[in-house]
Amino acid sequence: MQEITSYLAPRRLDEALQAMADGDATVLCGGTDLAPQTESGMRQYKAKLLNIRRIAGLDGIEAKGDEVRIGTVTTISEIRRNPALAKIAPVLVEAAEHFASEQIRNAASMGGNLCNASPAGDMIPPLLVLDASVELASWRDGAVQMRRIPLERFFVGPGKTVKLPEELLTAIVFDRPAADFVGKFRKSGPRPALEISTVSVAIGARVANGRLSDVRVAMGSIAPTPLRARHVEAALEGKPLDTATIAAAVAGTADDAKPIDDVRASAWYRSHLVRVFVEEVLNDVRGN
Amino acid sequence: MKRDAIGSPIARKTLIGQRVKKPDAPEKATGKTRYINDMVLPQMLIGKVLFAGRPHARIVHIDTSAAEKQPGVYAVLTGKDAAGLKFGFVRDNVALKDKVRCEHDEIAAVAAETEEIARRALELIEVEYEDLPGVFTPESGAREGAPLVHENFPGNKSLSFEFKHGDLAAAEAASDFVVDNVFRPHHVTHCCMGTSCAIADFDHNGKLTIWTQTQYPYNYKMDLAPALGLDPGDIRVIQPPIGGAFGSKLDVYPYEPIAALLAKKTGRPVKVIYSREEEFRASPTRQAAIIHMRTGCSRDGVLTFRTADVLLDNGAYTSWGPTIPVIMMRTTSGHYRVPVVDFKAQAIYTNNPYAGSFRGYGNVQTTYATAQQMDMLADMVDMDALEFHLKNAQKSGEVTPQKSFLRECALAECLETAAKASDYSRKRKDYAAQRDKPGRYKKGIGLASSIHNAGGAKIHKSDGIGTILKVDDYARVTVITGASEIGQGIDAVVTLIVAEELGVPLEHVTIVNNDSDVAPWDVGVHASRTTFIAGNGTRRAARKAKAQILNAAAKMLDEPAETLELRGGFVVRDKCGTPLIDLERLLRRMHFQAEPELVMVTDYYEPKSEPEGAKHISDHSAAYSHAVHVAEITVDTLTGEIKVDKVTVAQDVGRVINRMGLEGQIEGGIAMGLGYALSENMRIEKGMLRNPCFRDYKLITAPEMPPLDLHFIESNCAEGPYGAKGISELPTIVIAPAIANALFNATGVRIFNPPMSPEVVARAIHERRASTPCASSLESERK
Amino acid sequence: MTSVETEIRFKLNGREVCLKVPATMKTLDMLRDKLGMTGTKYACGEGECGACTIKIDGKTVNSCLMYAVDCDEREVVTIEGLRTPEGLHPVQQAFVDYGAVQCGFCMPGMIVQADYLVENNPNLTREEAQRGLEGNLCRCTGYTKVLDAVEAVVEKNKCCGRC
């Protein structure tokens, strides 16, 4: 069993990245995933435990310009309560609203939710629908290096991302949606709260004259990673938002959603719920 | 000569029916209360258990040498250290096993300085198993040639029960309608917020002190002794505050003698405490069953017979679970007026987790069946549903086929009250008419009732309680009662009764009830008996004290004792309330007079009930009571989610004693029943629990609790304290079938196998729609 | 699993505390085992039941998930910190008065969470209180009287402010 030989709580990004450079650091922020996963033995600590919560510049939600930037340590509660996001990206705030419990929301970080890469990660479908990217920082050649990865290419499997061990996710960014962009989120679980969601659906599109364009549909808990539902998108892109289109979109879910049976729900029920939610959300958009 | 008044008259005031605060609430609200889980004793070691993690296996070899060598490890025990020390209802269990019969079998135990050291030591214990084929359903356990769970229980047969009354063939022939269904009430578990915990310590005389969460401290000694080879008289049971019990602490579980064996081996106190995962895996469950029930009635709505053929999943060991047929048959024969009854039950050993006692004790499972069958028959007969229930409701003075004497029976009043308050009859018709019309959300209303013991249950040699009461020189009262406080509020009831009888402030009453060396015997907290039995015991003891006090006062004041009363801390003239002497002064005078007397009284109260008996024909409780629930729901027919909008409750409580405590028990009982009905489910696959955590085992949360409209019917039970009856199990018993009936009303779908989870409901609705394209075809069965 | 120890310094119920904790230790265990403050309870250890709820810098979290090292330089409030020598905190008193306490095991977490909700929303409705308490499991009460108590505190605060 790995021993933790050092604990660090740096205040500067370059310090943190240098400590991570050998790939032997476990990142700590809210602890809401790290704690249960290490307790159960599902995950092992590396030699360094690196608390990133005090690093300057990793917090805050900037929404002034064309790009919205959410610092990685931003908690789900902060998302939920942010007035700017409520106007610009209500679909994200909606997901935050239904995320676990208040106690978890107050501690869980956005970066943590993404890096945990659960197929059921609640904040991911709305970010996919917002066409978000993540910023990854590392220390190389004596300097801070940054790269951006579109969120859609960030996840490779349950719990797995393209982030390298020496990289730190520093921010989530997305372009401020167009004025006619409408985004909706719907999820379930047997409970209003505290369920790791049985199924979630987020839909975003530009709506003009009853037609949808720039359609993004994202789903959680129906595949090894949250994903963009391309078949559903194709059924909606450029189409008038009418009954026939909605039916086609619902039918398209069968090609995108490949859920499994597990202790929480059966594949049948997940597929069923996805159809119900896609229809519900589209009718909701239509109602707007 | 008549005494002068020493103050203005004190009016009669009663606490009965008032809202009385729970005496231990302030300490609990400030976090000051030391629960057993919080206790630390000097020199205490931590004990952890190695569980088998497989359902059926031979233990080939255990090597504990590496574990024993670990610094900080003081003892490692295995099956050889408990060999021959059999305990349990049928002596089929030992603290540490020599064979694996279920996934939570205790293979080894470690005592160490810290929990972390103990856990690491467990990991170093090497066990070689030879897996054996297992049996995971009672049907497969009963099959010819099935692997045996216990070699000395052939055919895996555990307990069996039977009760018959009347001519079944004739009753069947006389029936115009018969409903015949199989119900499969499932495995759920208590989920007490405080996980299982015991601390054991031996003194130099070999006497054991065990701090335990038990809710039956006296018989517990008798049950624990054989697991340790001790004399029950050498066991002292101390009951610290606990985080809930709900029936789970009515038996001895292996971790308790394990704590004692570790304490014996190390010579130090040892605390064994479960993590939540261990709690899920290793605690007793509610008894799961397969109930094949048939109920018949005549065309004019009179019940003709009820039969139940029950198969129980005994699990690996026999605890209270397989004894629930004793109550299941009472419901089968006594839920409404049933002239002919045929009940049989057989428990079969399996390699599944085993069941204990759980609030409702077999009545939850049985009423899920009886109340749904009543609802089904109500749709078949040509009468209003409520009328059908009323027609078959017993009246005061009736006796059931098992001789339960319904001295004060308020079933009809409960039915009428709940139905009226909820507008049941009209809504039931309206919602049924909407059922197959288009629309995603459907409303439904469902009614269910049940009958349960409300004055104890004489399944032991005694159903009584001892009470010792003293009043000191400062008019402070101490009640030393056998009644255990497990969070249900008996402390408030006892305090209230003493204050009521002796006219002292509530704050001047102290209760001592947590040390078997001090407090007298009580059979335990079960069968909704505690307010009834302990209430009567307390009242009797308090009245003995009062009689002694008033006799002394009568002599001193030269006034007849019958004209005196205790009120507001004084001896008063009863009729006018004139205070004559301060109670404290009187007590000191009694103490320091020429022939001194202290007020110290004892009482043993045995309720007037009959022992259960092997034939099960006996008036086994001192009272019975009923509750009716009307549940109103909205069903999302697409997702299958049931939202409970409101529950109307009418319960015969006999008499309200502590109104606030009564409400709290009903509210909490309903929440537990809602979990049973809608979301709680132990997913046991091939003997292994797949969801041992709150994330995947869903308890009801605050947003899911519906508004409740509570109606207390006071039937004034002659035998009960101030007329009160026991109340705490009925709320958990009645709610689930009320929801099931509401679901049928809303959607035409009936769920025979709880829980009615969203997926189960969605599938059932989906299948019904697929198989009944013309929904109105169902209407032909109804008028 | 051994881990390096770090010294942390933080405010606990208004008083400065300084101690060494292992890097992997959770705040719940630090409170209960190192500081003897057993008011905060272990009931699941995985952030599902809320019995371990404490306040950190004014926000409630599950202390079973929060690493103790992260308490450094912060303000922690536990159930023990709510009452004053003069008496119970208004939320505690309401829980007692309205019969919200039965076995009481979940109550420290429930009360800390209820206090946080009331503090942050003077117009808290019953429905909002239900949602706000969804992370606090109770097996005894069915939540009804917990919500009655919270409503009473909100009402009282509206009428005369914090007494």
**Gap between the Cα atoms of C6 and C68, Å rounded:** 10
Take residue B670 and report the two structure tokens written for it: 């309903």
pLDDT computed for residue A189 by the predictor? 59
CB C99 within 8 A of CB B664: yes
Name chain C's partners: 3 or more CB pairs within 8 A.
Answer: A, B
CB B326 within 8 A of CB B360: no
Geometric angle at alpha carbon A129, from A123 and A134, rounded to 5°: 65
- C139 interfaces chain B, CB cutoff of 8 Å: yes
Residues of A in contact with C27 (CB under 8 A): none
CA A67 to chain centre: 17
Take residue A47 and report the two structure tokens written for it: 């030699």
CB B293 within 8 A of CB B307: yes
The DSSP symbol for C81 reads G
Cross-chain Cβ contact A53/C70 below 8 Å: yes
Instruction: Quick: pLDDT tens for B713-766.
Output: 999 999 999 999 999 999 999 999 999 999 999 999 999 999 999 999 999 999
Q: Give the dihedral of Cα atoms B170, B171, B173, B175; nearest 10 deg.
A: 160
State the ipTM, two decimals: 0.97
Take residue B528 and report the two structure tokens written for it: 């909704």
Q: How confident is the model at residue A191 (pLDDT cuts 50, 70, 90)?
A: low
Closest partner residue to A196 (CB to CB) among B638, B679, B695 is B695
Take residue A255 and report the two structure tokens written for it: 């090609």
Candidates B162, B141, B56; CA nearest to B348 is B141
**Gap between the Cα atoms of B245 and B192, Å rounded:** 6
Take residue A17 and report the two structure tokens written for it: 């990245």
CA of A109 vs chain C CAs: smallest distance (Å): 12
Residues of B in contact with C105 (CB under 8 A): 35, 37, 192-194, 242-244, 487
* B781: pLDDT strictly greater than 50: no
List all residues 6 or more positions away from B767 whose beta carbon is below 8 Å from its beta carbon. Answer: none
**Gap between the Cα atoms of B407 and B350, Å rounded:** 41
List all residues 6 or more positions away from C90 whose beta carbon is below 8 Å from its beta carbon. Answer: C153, C156, C157, C162, C163
- B190 interfaces chain C, CB cutoff of 8 Å: yes
Residues of B in contact with C99 (CB under 8 A): 19, 21-22, 25, 660-661, 663-664
Residues of A in contact with C1 (CB under 8 A): 1-3, 45
Q: How confident is the model at residue B774 (pLDDT cuts 50, 70, 90)?
A: low
- Which is more confidently placed, B776 or B192? B192
Instruction: Quick: pLDDT tens for A221-267.
Output: 999 999 999 999 999 999 999 999 999 999 999 999 989 898 888 99
**Gap between the Cα atoms of B611 and B618, Å rounded:** 7
Residues of B in contact with C95 (CB under 8 A): 25, 29
Query: Measured between alpha carbons, how far is residue C150 from residues B21, B538, C117 in Å?
Result: 17, 34, 9
pLDDT computed for residue A194 by the predictor? 42
Query: Measured between alpha carbons, how far is residue B75 from residues B71, B211, B487 in Å?
Result: 11, 20, 35
The DSSP symbol for B440 reads S
CB B412 within 8 A of CB B484: no
Candidates B623, B628, B621, B622; CA nearest to B413 is B628
The DSSP symbol for B648 reads E
Take residue B132 and report the two structure tokens written for it: 């054996």
For chain B positions 241-270, those within 8 Å of chain C (CB to CB) are 241-244, 246
**Gap between the Cα atoms of B756 and B679, Å rounded:** 7
Take residue C65 and report the two structure tokens written for it: 């998930």
**Gap between the Cα atoms of B75 and B45, Å rounded:** 10
Take residue B477 and report the two structure tokens written for it: 């009262």
Geometric angle at alpha carbon C128, from C124 and C130, rounded to 5°: 120
CB B237 within 8 A of CB B506: no
Take residue A262 and report the two structure tokens written for it: 């597990």
Instruction: Quick: pLDDT tens for B676-702.
Output: 999 999 999 999 999 999 999 999 999
pLDDT computed for residue B271 by the predictor? 98
Side by side, the strands of the sheet bearing B570-573 are: B564-567, B570-573, B579-582
Q: Residue B595's beta-bridge partner residues?
A: none
Chain C residue closest in CA terms to A32 = C65
CA of C27 vs chain A CAs: smallest distance (Å): 11
- Span C138-162, average pLDDT: 92
Query: Strands A25-28, A6-8: parallel, antiparallel or unpaired by DSSP?
Result: unpaired
Take residue B328 and report the two structure tokens written for it: 């299941």
Give the three-class secondary structure for B171. helix
Closest partner residue to A190 (CB to CB) among B679, B703, B763 is B679
- Which is more confidently placed, A286 or C11? C11
> Which sign, positive or negative, has the C-alpha torsion C44, C49, C52, C58?
positive
DSSP B174-209: T-SEEEEEEE-----B---SSPPEEEEEE-TTS-EE
Respond yes or no on whether the N-terminal peptide bond of residue B755 is cis (omega within 30° of 0).
Answer: yes
Cross-chain Cβ contact B694/A188 below 8 Å: no
CA B665 to chain centre: 11
**Gap between the Cα atoms of A282 and A247, Å rounded:** 10
pLDDT computed for residue B775 by the predictor? 46
Instruction: Quick: pLDDT tens for B423-478.
Output: 999 999 999 999 999 999 999 999 999 999 999 999 999 999 999 999 999 999 99
Instruction: Quick: pLDDT tens for B502-545.
Output: 999 999 999 999 999 999 999 999 999 999 999 999 999 999 99
* A195: pLDDT strictly greater than 80: no
Instruction: Quick: pLDDT tens for C87-136.
Output: 999 999 999 999 999 999 999 999 999 999 999 999 999 999 999 999 99
Query: Measured between alpha carbons, how far is residue B461 from residues A29, B494, B535, B609 in Å?
Result: 60, 24, 20, 11
The DSSP symbol for B410 reads -
Share of chain B above pLDDT 90, in %: 97
**Gap between the Cα atoms of B575 and B564, Å rounded:** 8
**Gap between the Cα atoms of C118 and C158, Å rounded:** 11
Take residue B173 and report the two structure tokens written for it: 């022939």
CB C2 within 8 A of CB A3: yes
CB A71 within 8 A of CB A55: no
Backbone angles phi, psi at A270, to 5 degrees: -60, -45
Give the three-class secondary structure for B95. coil
Query: Measured between alpha carbons, how far is residue B366 from residues B216, B248, B767 in Å?
Result: 25, 19, 27
Q: How confident is the model at residue A128 (pLDDT cuts 50, 70, 90)?
A: very high
* C149: pLDDT strictly greater than 90: yes
